[in-house]
Chain A
Amino acid sequence: MDGFWPTFTKRTLRPANYMQEIAAMHTEGIETPEKVVLFLQDFCQDFCVKSNDIYEVYVKEGERVLTGQKIGLLLSDSKKLAVHSSISGEVITLGEALHPLGWKAYAITIKSDGKDERAQLRPFEGSGLTSSKEDLLHFLSDMGILIDYGLPEQVSTLLINVTEFEPCFSSKERLVVEEQEKLAKGLEVFLKLFDSAINTIFLLEKRHQHLFSNLRQICSVIKNTDVQVVRRPYPVTLQSLLRERITDGKKTAMIKWPNAVMPNAVMPNAVMIEPSVLVSIYDAYYKGEPFIRQLISVVGSAVKKPLNLWIRCGTTVDYIVDRCGGKTTNVKRLTMGGPLMGVPQHTVDVPVLKRANGISIDVAVLFDDERKSRVYKPTQCIRCGKCVDVCPAKITPNAIVDLIQDRRYEEAIRLGLFSCLECGLCYYVCPSILPLMELMKMGKYRAVGKHTLLTYNYYKML
């Protein structure tokens, strides 16, 4: 009977930041996993069962590999992305494995020998490449860093998204605090790629204003750079909408800026990137380390110590649960990403996504002690408009969902179905407890003719 008796507490329109304590703690590293699973296919054309992407394998079963050794190549529509072994050890299996986004993909499993021997480091300066754009792009993709904008000439504005949309993650915050120099130098390298960019803007949330001085220091080093304090965070999915607009010139993706920080006309060609990309670019360019480490937040009731952790790419979740003081048998729910936009997982032995900046692991779904979980029963929409008030994409979820339920997809698209960012706030505030975000996702699949809800929108995590 939750919500039966009237309470005097103020209901919030946005989730409270309830893991604030880990934002103040120093990051730790668990960089000695027993095994890693590295995928050579990262994308599924029909979002269905099995990925059909092309790949190249450079190792054989039983072979010994070193940390940072190139073991494969990921090819997708004229882009190449090298995959590096993130630990030293022996290749135990080559074959299909379950990708965290829901389909089967080709993967290399490497068992650690505990020595963590490094392969030869290849920084940019000693590599003999010229400083032209193509060479730099080639170098970065060889280092496993995906720069997914194919045409950097058109870009006029570079946005660096320091805002954190998920309520319990703080990995970006720690990154700015601890790796400030790497961010600055990585941005310098990155600006060589996007030399047409007129200005660079750090998007900072109002509640993270203690990071303002750190970001100002970066701005003082690099010219045409500014920090913009925004009231609400930007979801990660905004990146994919921006990229769609640049590469395809699609007008269906109508992006209205949530805080009216900048109007549409000023930024026709904006690119948004994550700060973690800059750190990995620094590592690759100056130290010659390929992309084998990532920073994630681990939260949830299944781990005793919620933390920000440096892990090796491809570390499986059960190892993280063990090291954070939890039992893998107790885990009942695992999400790649936070509680608002995460991807649910079937098993605990999946590897962490390379793009994820956090995972949340819970002991129970129903009647949990720490976070009260309940099953709500959806009722009729009462047209209160709270979803409209809270939507960061400025669309009307209730009207669109009505049309989707009537299977009138063309009208739904005209109302902006595809500019939905899938942030989940509409469900968070809905007093009728309608599964708005789920229906919007279903509508997206149905509108393009794919009658499946099996998998997750790939673009979401990019």
Chain B
Amino acid sequence: MERQSRNLLITSSPPYIKNGETVHCLMFDVIISLVPAALFSIYVFGVRSLWIIFISSMTAVITEGVLQLLFFTKEFNYKTPILSFIKSEDITVTDGSALVTGLLLAFTLPPTVPYWIPIVGTVVAIALGKLAFGGLGYNIFNPALLGRAFLLAAWPVYMTTWLATINADVVTTATPLSMMKEDGQLTPIINLIVGNVSGSIGETSVVALLLGAAYLFYKRTITWHIPVSYIVTVFVFSLVLGMPAFFHVFSGGLILGAFYMATDVVTSPCTPKGRIIFGCGAGIITILIRKYGGYPEGVCYAILIMNAVAPLIDRIKR
């Protein structure tokens, strides 16, 4: 009785303050930082790249929503579908991770692909790359890169038909990397930095990508460890192997991969030391594929291989 008469306070475990950051914030930071590169690609490759980006991201969101509705929800009230879709705890489309996957996958596609290619790629990326493992947080491989690897293996012709840049109609050319690999012909560095070269939708302009990366660094969404160690390793290792170092840093998807793909929080190590090892390993594999491998570009496979090793790195360096 005495206990009840007293004004009992609310007790909960400390801490009582929070910086308000959610998974949602992280994902939308990435989306905002991808905007300059997307705008530049629309300017360079025309409206077709906008359509590819749009189709890819929409497919990603729809795939994730439908699959989570089918396989992940425990209770769903079909009488009020919209309300229960929004309020359901199991459906996490709104956290934006599917949108990021779709955008990043579109960024790695050539602008000439038929419109069904991004659809197939995103469905594979979301269904096999992410939801098959159990959703965000459980996936081993970066879903966007897994989708791209699948597309590259299944339809190599579509995936390696490149479009020339501004003021050109549909004229197929080669990317700077394949030009160097096949003909030994170097593209000027300034073209690579500005983005006036052929290549995938999002990877051409280094300036636009670095602008977005600066935003990510400002918001502290990513840390410096992976991008810096990755790029420095590529630079040093290509110098060691006697290849043009600056060309290798700025060509291909290295900047996109280093700042956006490799820093994917789920598939990279947690500790700072582990991140540096991750970046160094990815850099070495990239240069090895570019020098000795069959493909001109190695960023995609390098990051996928290091993703598989990331849990081991976490185990060693914690």
Contacts and interface: CB of A to CB of B under 8 A. Distances in A.
Given A6-B28, A167-B17, A429-B19, A334 B9 contact: yes
A45 interface: no
Nearest to A341: B14
B25 A424 contact: no
Contacts of B18: 376, 427-428, 433
A431 B136 CA distance: 13
A346 B9 contact: yes
Contacts of B92: 379
Interface in B101-129: none
B7 A329 contact: yes
Contact of A342 (B8, B14, B89): B14
A112 interface: no
Nearest to B275: A385
Contacts of B183: none
Given A348-B9, A415-B318, A429-B19, A380 B137 contact: yes
Contacts of B95: 379
Helix, strand, loop or mixed for chain B's interface? Answer: loop
Interface in A226-273: none
A55 to B, nearest CB: 24
Given A384-B265, A388-B271, A399-B270, A341 B20 contact: no
Identify the interface centre among A348, A388, A431: most chain B CB within 10 Å of its CB.
Answer: A431
A380 B72 CA distance: 14
Interface string A337-374: 10111111111110000000000000001000001010
B14 A339 contact: yes
B13 A344 contact: yes
Interface residues of B, number: 47
Contacts of B138: 380
Given A335-B16, A344-B11, A383 B137 contact: yes
Helix, strand, loop or mixed for chain A's interface? Answer: loop
Identify the interface centre among B10, B265, B314: most chain A CB within 10 Å of its CB.
Answer: B10
B240 to A, nearest CB: 30
B167 interface: no
A333 B13 CA distance: 12
B11 A3 contact: no
Contacts of B94: 4
Contact of B25 (A11, A332, A342): A11
Given A365-B10, A433-B18, A382 B23 contact: yes
B15 interface: yes
A348 B9 CA distance: 8
Contacts of B26: 382, 384, 431
17 contacts: A6-B31, A10-B220, A331-B7, A333-B11, A340-B16, A341-B15, A346-B8, A380-B138, A382-B265, A383-B137, A383-B268, A385-B269, A388-B272, A398-B270, A427-B15, A431-B23, A437-B14
